[in-house]
Structures are given as structure tokens and as C-alpha cells.
Amino acid sequence: MDTVQQLIVCGGCNAKIGPGNLGELLADLPKTTNENLLVGFDSTDDAAVIKLREDLAIIQTLDFFPTMVTDPYLFGKIAAANALSDVYAMGGEVLSALNIVAFPEEKDLSILKEILRGGSEKVQEAGAILAGGHSIHDQSVKYGLSVTGTIDPTKIYQNNTCQLGDHLILTKPLGVSIITVGYSAAEISETAFVKATTSMETLNKYAMEIIRNYPINSCTDVTGFGLAGHLHEMLNDKFSAKIHSKDLPYFEEAYQGAKEFILTAGGQRNRNYMQDKIAFEIDDFGIEELLFDPQTSGGLLVSVPADQATVLVKELQAADIPAKDFGVVIEKQGKELLVD
């Protein structure tokens, strides 16, 4: 059976609960206090970090979502790359992974096999152990991974520790949700779709292998909250950021699609949450939507001292990683993000 074109496009990180609602949900939950819990959910970071000994900690994370492409094998690769990314965003190495599966009882199991094949290949590419998993029947297909990584406790990258004057670097282009939605509606080309899915299935492992050689102040991966939302977390209510729109990495067809009002539900949730925190000094709806667009398996957002930014970007680009230096951390202003 030809398994291509067997899934419904309805998810990816576009399916995440919006940042405002999520913050309200977590606010009143009891906080876990333990001297070995180095990073927990109270900091809205990418993963939990638990110290085992002075020179070793484990990273724990999980991520799963509904399908955003119709090809099961491709969906498996993208979902796995997205889940593995949280470990890389913390600066760690992936140790093992477990499959998380929801699959309709009446659906052909050969489709699930293709999803799992794609996920398994990405875990193998990460150099990790796929150790099993858990599956349930559900009305819609969902897939992802629970991932365990390792890290030196003194070398953890957190998502909210940028410093004044840092330059901001993003390692993948923006616009993947706009492209996948537009492609499913036959409004965006297959060429653009292939570029976007190739980006989504690319592990952030390769960027992190370069990044960890530099004095990074803060790092996160850009996923469902969009670049604007994840940069908001990085600034941590201490700073503002100047974003140079001409330096943003993005897919040209996503930009054109946004100008033609190819929009996503997740993008609108992100806009609603961030609209009072951002000031656009340009009149460009396409750029606005790119900043709010939910990224599935997006790039690493890195905050690095100004004197390290140029050489880091050059090294990343020399490794065929399309990184760009797009902004700078500045003193706190009336608005958090200033886009010129």
C-alpha cells in the first residue's frame, strides 16, 4: 500500500496551547523543591534537569502532537526531531527515547509503522537508544517522544539568562506553519514545502555541536510560541530586544503567503498574547506573521556576546546551517520587542 497522503494536516506545534493560557494553567500548581532539581517547569524552560552527581545531570523532556504533513514517514521524522530538540536546546546529549503514540483503532497499522520508522531513524541519527514506548487508541493520530539526555550541571543552557548587549542568532528559517497550511490548501508550491519539511526534519544536534564551543549566555529552541514568544521568555522581563527585520531568516514563500493572508490558528494565538509587548516600526504584515508563526522543529535561538556573534554565524553557515544574527538585547523599554 502506498502510505503517502494518508494523514490529515491538523497539528504540529501549531496545536500547542497558547502561551497566555498555559501560563495561567501552571501558575497555581504546587512547585517542586529539591536541591537536585536544577531546572523545573517554574522557569518555562525547554526541559527538566536533575543532578545525579557533581559532574552529571539528566535532562528529561517529552513532546508529541497531531500530524502537520500527510506522509506518515515524514511526520515521524519531524515529530522525533522536534522532541529531541529540547535536549539540544539545553546544551545536552541525547541518551534515550520512548515512543508516544495515539492511533485510531480503525486506521491501517501500516501507516503507524511508517510513522515509527521515521521516528526511529531520527533517534538513531541522534546516536540515542530507542527503548520502547506507549500507545493508545484515539480519534486522531498523534506521535512524539519522551527523551532523556545528559549534561554537565555546570554547562546547562537556560532559556531566560540573556545579557545586555547580547546578539540574537537563529539557526533555521521561519515560516514552516504558514507553508504547511498553505501547501495543504494548494496555495504554496511543493518546492517551498520540501524546503520547509527538510528544515523541520533536520536535527538541531549539528548546530549545537558548533554552538557549545562559544560562551553562550542563553539558548532555546523556537517552537509553538513563535520567535516572538520564545524571545519574550528569553528576555525574562529584564530587557528588551531590537529585531532587525531585514536580517531575519525566513522562507520567502512563507513571507509572501503571510502577505496574502495564509494564516494559522497558533499564529493568531501568539499574536494575541504578544501584541501588547511588541512595537513594529515598519508596516509589513508578512514580517509580523513570521514572528508569530508557530515553528514545528524550529531552530535554536541563541543569545551570545556581541564580539562572538559574527564568528559563530560564519562557522554555522560554513556547516550549511542557515543561521542569521537578527537582533540585539537592549535595556528595557516601554515595549519588549522593537522591530525595525
| CA–CA distances in Å: residue 103 to residues 68, 79, 115, 124, 169 | 15, 15, 11, 23, 38
Q: Is 283 annotated as a binding residue?
A: no
Residue 44 assigned to a binding site: yes
Q: What are phi and psi of 145, to 5 degrees?
A: -140, 145
Is 303 annotated as ligand-binding? no
Confirm or deny that 108 is annotated as ligand binding: no
* Exposure letters 8-47 (e unless 16+ CB within 10 A, then b): ebebbbbbbebbeeeeeeeeeeeeeeeeebbbbeeebbbb
- Single-letter code of the amino acid located at 211: I
Is 221 assigned a ligand-binding role in the annotation?
yes
Contact 135, 178 (CB under 8 A): no
Q: Is 144 assigned to a binding site?
A: no
Question: Is 299 marked as binding a ligand?
Answer: no
User: Binding residue per annotation — 135?
Assistant: yes
Radius of gyration of the chain (CA): 19
Residues forming a β-bridge with 147? 61, 97
Do the annotations mark residue 166 as ligand-binding?
A: no
Which set of grid coordinates corresponds to residue 296? Answer: 514545528
Out of 10, 13, 162, 219, the active site residue is: 13
307 is known to lie in a ligand binding site? no
Report whether 44 contacts 233 (CB < 8 A).
Answer: yes
Our answer to whether residue 13 is catalytic in this structure is: yes
Residues 322, 315: Cα–Cα separation, whole Å: 10
What length is written for the chain?
340
CB neighbour list of residue 135: distance below 8 Å, 6 or more residues apart:
99, 101, 102, 103
Instruction: Please identify which residue in the block is written with the cell numbers 531568516.
Output: 249
Is 189 annotated to bind a ligand? Reply is no
Coil, strand or helix at 255: helix
Q: What are phi and psi of 95, to 5 degrees?
A: -100, -50
**What is the number of H-type helices and E-type strands within the chain?**
11, 13
Sequence ranges of the binding site: 16, 43-46, 63, 86, 133-135, 221
Among all residues, which ones are annotated catalytic? 13
Sequence ranges of the binding site for ATP: 16, 43-45, 63, 86, 133-135
